[in-house]
Structure 1
Amino acid sequence: MIGNILTGVVALIHCYILVLEMFLWDKPQGMKAFGSTPQFATETKVLAANQGLYNGFLAAGLFWGIWLGEAGDPIKVFFLLCVAVAGVFGAVTASRKILFVQTIPAVVALFAVWLA
């Protein structure tokens, strides 16, 4: 149950990232979250929406794994690993903050699923 709850938290984080990247990227909340300027946000809005869509797919995979119950554990593990790897890459290439927002929650959820 703890694994499902933590996996759900990671999925909700990615739903929030989807909203930030797809709908709020060039709004004050989105620019504040990503530390961008109005000019940068305008120039990269389409790219950000694409990233947001991918985050939505990660969330969908995590929710799918939860929905399947114990049979969905391999799916949860796969998508949590995807989130963790993407988080490490983002932390190295974009911002260390991603390590704390994305990678650590995914790794904690992953261990909870494995230990269940």
Structure 2
Amino acid sequence: MENIKIVAILFVSIIHLYILFLEMYLWTSEKGVKSFGLKNKEFAQETKVMAANQGLYNGFLAIGLLWFLLIDNTNGIKYLLVCVIVAGLYGAYSTRLIKIIYIQSIPAIIALLLTLFF
């Protein structure tokens, strides 16, 4: 069960590294515009600095999870997983994109439950 927990935490980290990549490097591309449901490429261009900042925060979450996993800091892992869950819920609410819950919050909830009980 320990290995499943580690894989779940790694999965959440990988998701957030991918989000970092999308927000920091692909925001103005067709993939970025489609992934985030943006109005158009012009809007993406106007908001790319903000998106890069968001991407950086996603990177911090990912690296933090990896670091806490490496040093076996369960409390740090739990804290960051709760942050990911809340960010996903707020993101889905504020953008009205329910897919954010499935992409961001659900994997973090699974990882948190595994961390809490195993």
Q: Taking structure 1 as the reference length, what is the TM-score of the superposition? A: 0.94
One-letter amino acid of the structure 1 residue matched with residue 74 of structure 2: D
1:5-84 correspondence to structure 2 within 5 Å: 5-36=7-38, 37-69=40-72, 72-84=73-85
Residue equivalent to 2:110: 108
One-letter amino acid of the structure 1 residue matched with residue 66 of structure 2: F
- Post-superposition Cα deviations, 1:26-69, rounded to whole Å, max 9, x if no partner, equal 01111121122111101100000000000000001110111113
Structure 2 unpaired stretches of 5+: none
Identity of aligned residues (%): 46
Residue equivalent to 2:93: 92
RMSD of Structure 2 on Structure 1 (CA): 0.8
Would you identify which runs of 4 or more consecutive aligned residues in structure 1 move more than 3 Å? none
- Post-superposition Cα deviations, 1:63-108, rounded to whole Å, max 9, x if no partner, equal 0111113xx1111101000000111111111121111110111000
Q: Taking structure 2 as the reference length, what is the TM-score of the superposition? A: 0.93
